[in-house]
Amino acid sequence: MSGHGASRRSAQVTIALLLVGLAIAAVASLGVGRYDIPVARVIAILVVPFSPPDIAITPTEANVVFTVRMPRILLAVLTGAGLALSGAALQGVFRNPLVGPQVVGVSSGAAFGSKLAILFSFPRYGLLGSAFTFGLSALVLVYALNGIVARRNILALVLAGVVVTGFLGALVSLLEYLADTEDKLPAMVFWLLGSFATANWDKLLLVAAPARPHRLSGVEGRVQGQSRDRCESPARIGDGRCLRCAGGHHELRRLRKPANPDAVWHWPRRRSAASWYYAGA
């Protein structure tokens, strides 16, 4: 088995084990709380639609498991999955493992949008829409500043994110200063802290819609296409492949072959470059 295949199989085994551990933790959590329910009893409650238990399930037990605890646990799982997906998407788009919502201003923008909605007493969906709109606007602003100052420069992107985050943080502090200390300010603080105490099936469906699995083949193709255009890592010319970018599976375009066999081909820093250049080893 090749190294790539073994690595992929190892990753699949790891993901499978993590999913099994998550399922065990979720089932165990259904019985933990002020109203304690043994794990065996929880499993019996869960399989009631398929196999009636020997001991009848009381309405209290069914209500605790299906109405109180299960929405909270599933909402926590979907929220964590959505946050992980968002972070992975940002890191993939910007091709930097250090990029996150806090770095590119998304968190500050969403915080400002949510506090602004709370200050003006927006309804639930208006609050969510405001947080999403300002978070996305902050990301667009950071990317626009990066394009103006230094196109496709990761350092400039991070600095632009720091500037936008600081500006939005100041606006958040201004909203907290203007908010009513008896009503609006506590709501803002507890909103940012977050809680699953009021979780129900309606809120679970609201989170499940954006967190559901999507087909990413088109996005993957576009990201690979961008990596071919913007990779700055050098590669030996032995088999014409880049040794670092995109797993070393795409070929370098050769316009001329250098006389030095140990020369290193480089990708251009800008897409408008006329040709690839090389440097002797």
* 263 in a structural domain: yes
C-alpha distances out from residue 33 to 28, 36, 48, 139, 247, Å: 11, 6, 21, 40, 47
Compute the distance between CA of residue 257 and CA of residue 177 in angstroms, rounded to an integer.
65
pLDDT digits (tens, 9 = 90+) for 165-218: 999 999 999 999 998 888 899 989 888 888 888 888 888 888 887 666 555 444
Domain-embedded: residue 258? yes
- DSSP H or E stretch at residue 279: strand 277-279
Please give the pLDDT value at position 214. Answer: 57
User: CA angle at residue 125 from 171 to 215, to 5 degrees?
Assistant: 100
Residues 133-156 pLDDT 10s: 999 999 899 888 888 876 667 778
Segments forming the whole domain that contains residue 236: 231-279
Q: Answer whether residue 271 is part of any domain.
A: yes
Judge whether residue 268 has pLDDT over 80: no
Segment 8-28 shows an average pLDDT of 91
21 within a domain of the structure (yes/no)? no
In a domain? residue 250 = yes
Check pLDDT > 80 for residue 81: yes
How many structural domains are present in the chain? Answer: 1
pLDDT of residue 194: 84
Domain-embedded: residue 207: no
Q: How many DSSP H helices and E strands does the chain contain? A: 10, 3
Residue 182 in any domain: the answer is no
- Of all residues in the chain, what percent carry a pLDDT higher than 90? 26
For the four alpha carbons of 189, 193, 197 and 203, in that order, the dihedral sign comes to: positive
Identify whether 30 is part of a domain. Answer: no
pLDDT at 121 exceeding the cut of 50: yes
